[in-house]
A and B are shown apart, each in its own frame.
Chain A
Amino acid sequence: MIAVGITVALKEILASFGLSGGLLSVVTYAILASATFGLLSVLALFLVWWERKIAGHMQQRFGPMRNGWHGWYQTLVDGLKLLQKEDVRVATRDKVVFFWAPVMCFIAAFAAYIVIPFGDGLIVADLNIGILYIMAITTFTVISLLMAGWGSNNKYALLGGMRSAAQVVSYEVPMVASILVVVLYAGSLSTVDIVNSQAGNFLNWNIFRVPYGPLAFLTYLVAAIAEANRTPFDLAEAEQELVAGFNIEYSGMKFAMFFLAEFINLFTVSAIAVILFFGGWHGFEFIPSFVWFFLKTFAVVFLLIMIRWTYPRMRVDQLMEFAWKFLVPLTFLNIIIAAIFKHFGWYWEL
């Protein structure tokens, strides 16, 4: 157990160098932001390679094999290639919107990591509205996709952007409703409090403790796949009909930012699933807490990748009707049932 958080420890070290007041906080958070960016870059590089390997093996081929052992630095080489690519800009674009869309997409994915606890005390800032903050900041992705669609002045891009806007706002509602079930039992919005309410035995994890916890997890998972724009809900970038959707006119580093944000989002939704339903960093004490967190999160990521390469894409009208006519009533009924169970105490507290 780490007694103090990483932020407090870093602040003490910096204070010994003579920093104080507001500057101390800014420097601390700036260092943590760089560290988070480093971690996320490595994670994204790994996740891209991992996804390609899994996809390959599911389709009875090998996936990347050339660079290193089983192509382990393939994505690093791809990133270097993207860095050297010419930035092709459409002549008829909206200059400001076109430029800021990838920046916004990246920030929306990146800023969510303030409140994600990687382990006991490994959190940048334990905001008291933690989970609500994640929901709020990741939704900015929609605005960036709309910006990319509109700014490119391209019909495919516009269709992709509009579709993803309609899709993400629709699946936002069941996602919030699934999270509310957990908040009801944790009695707090802070991610650290939610994880700590599931301490002890694994039967204390919300997926087992909350009545209909598996149902809440399933509805969360479906909504999360839709929020992260992944197959079977990747209508925003459906290759066969929209060629690439919102990012069709982007190249070089600007495209790389969309790509990076997509894989950061994949890790984010899995991490939230682990925080909400699988007890976060808790596990057997003799293994460090962050190992547990990464193990559980990678298990959920693996599940999401398997889903992506198993199911075909949905039709856009089926997608919207599934959200509004099935998921929304189901998740709100689940809230009512969970509230009744909580009120009469029909759950265990180990």
Chain B
Amino acid sequence: MVAEYLSVLVFIFAGIGIVLFTFLLSKLIRPHNPYPKKNANYECAEEPVGSSWFKFNNRFYIFALIFVIFDVEAIFLFPWAVAFGELGLYALIEMIIFILILFFGLFYAWRKGALKWV
């Protein structure tokens, strides 16, 4: 089984190799003629105002937090779903309670207005 996971590593490095090879191939035949106007940021032909590396709206941060909660839950749910056939009624009730607690959390976030996009 461990040998099969080697395929993941090989595919990742093969992927990097293939992409870098096409970049190299393109570098050999493409023209190269940069000048400051061409290399300026594209903002619909306007002069760019300032850098775009600034602090961003923290709406994304709240969504990311809720996502982390649900994703950790998914890690718990996957083994449960695989082994459900053997676990029986106890696992069923346990998981229903677990999902209901999560729902409670989701509705709390909903009531607090965390799910609203401003």
Q: Are A317 and B92 in contact (CB under 8 A)?
A: no
Minimum C-beta distance from A82 to chain B (A) = 8
Residues of chain B from 15 to 36 with CB closer than 8 A to chain A in the complex? 15-16, 18-20, 22-23, 25-27, 29-34, 36
A249 and B42 in contact, given A29-B11, A187-B85, A316-B117 (Cβ under 8 angstroms): yes
Residue of A whose beta carbon sits closest to that of B88: A343
Q: Are A84 and B26 in contact (CB under 8 A)?
A: yes
CA distance A102 to B23 in the complex (A): 11
Q: Give chain B residues whose Cβ lies under 8 Å from the Cβ of A125.
A: 4-5, 7-8
Q: Give chain A residues whose Cβ lies under 8 Å from the Cβ of B53.
A: 150, 153
Q: How large is the interface on B (under 10, 10 to 19, 20 to 34, 35 or more residues)?
A: 35 or more
Say which residue of B42, B60, B70, B89 sits within 8 Å of A343 (CB atoms). B89
Total interface residues in chain A, CB < 8 Å: 82
Q: Are A332 and B20 in contact (CB under 8 A)?
A: no
Q: Are B38 and A30 in contact (CB under 8 A)?
A: no
CA distance A22 to B9 in the complex (A): 13
Q: Are A317 and B117 in contact (CB under 8 A)?
A: yes
Q: Are B81 and A180 in contact (CB under 8 A)?
A: yes
Q: Are A339 and B89 in contact (CB under 8 A)?
A: no
Q: Are B82 and A343 in contact (CB under 8 A)?
A: no
Q: Give chain A residues whose Cβ lies under 8 Å from the Cβ of B85.
A: 187, 342
CA distance A267 to B60 in the complex (A): 29
Q: Mark A103-138, 1 if CB is under 8 A from B, else 0.
A: 100110011011000000000111110001100010
Minimum C-beta distance from B118 to chain A (A) = 8
CA distance A340 to B93 in the complex (A): 9
Residue of B whose beta carbon sits closest to that of A92: B41
Q: Give chain B residues whose Cβ lies under 8 Å from the Cβ of A95.
A: none
- Contact stretch, chosen from A158-166, A209-217, A219-227, A295-303: A158-166
Say which residue of A26, A36, A127, A253 sits within 8 Å of B4 (CB atoms). A127
Q: Are A86 and B71 in contact (CB under 8 A)?
A: no
CA distance A321 to B12 in the complex (A): 35
Residue of B whose beta carbon sits closest to that of A127: B4
**Interface residue? A240 (CB, 8 A):** no
A103 and B102 in contact, given A114-B11, A154-B41 (Cβ under 8 angstroms): no
Chain A residues with a Cβ under 8 A of chain B:
22, 25-26, 29-30, 32-34, 36-37, 83-92, 102-103, 106-107, 110-111, 113-114, 124-128, 132-133, 137, 150, 152-158, 162, 165-166, 169-170, 172-173, 176-177, 180, 183-184, 187-189, 243, 248-249, 252-254, 256-257, 316-317, 320-321, 324-325, 328-329, 332, 335-336, 339-340, 342-343
Given contacts A152-B41, A183-B82, 19 further A-B contacts (CB under 8 A): A29-B6, A33-B10, A37-B15, A84-B29, A103-B19, A106-B15, A110-B15, A113-B11, A154-B43, A162-B60, A166-B59, A173-B70, A176-B74, A180-B78, A253-B23, A317-B117, A321-B117, A336-B96, A339-B92
